[in-house]
Amino acid sequence: MKQITRALAFVFALAFVAGCGGGATYLQLAQQRGGASATLRKLVEEAMRKGRTAKDHHDAAYRFLHAIAGDLPHFVDAVREMYAGNKVGYDHFTYDWPRDIRDHGRRLAFPE
């Protein structure tokens, strides 16, 4: 799994360099100490060290819940509690939801 994560991070870094943001080109990276490969590896490693914020987790959970549970009762209330960081409130408003949906949303929003 770690190799897949690193490979995906490398692809994203390459896309970033190719013009999806940042403005650096592969030729500019090649001129850096160690060459383009070493520079990309450093960018990927730095991104992996930063990790994900609570908002990143909540946004991922929201995308899942909106797609799967957007029409379930108390959806808006559950999302509001999730973004407030209130696990108990989230559990309260999702109590009547299908267990797998409720639990997966909770794992996404509040990873242990």
Distance CA 98, CA 100 (A): 6
- Tens digits of residue pLDDT in 56-112: 899 999 999 999 999 999 999 999 999 999 999 999 999 999 999 999 999 999 987
State the Cα–Cα distance between residues 44 and 40, nearest whole angstrom.
6
Q: Give me the residue spans of the domains in the chain.
A: 2-50, 54-109
pLDDT level of residue 5 (50, 70, 90 thresholds)? low
pLDDT over threshold 60, residue 18: no
In whole angstroms, what is the distance from residue 69 CA to residue 67 CA? 6
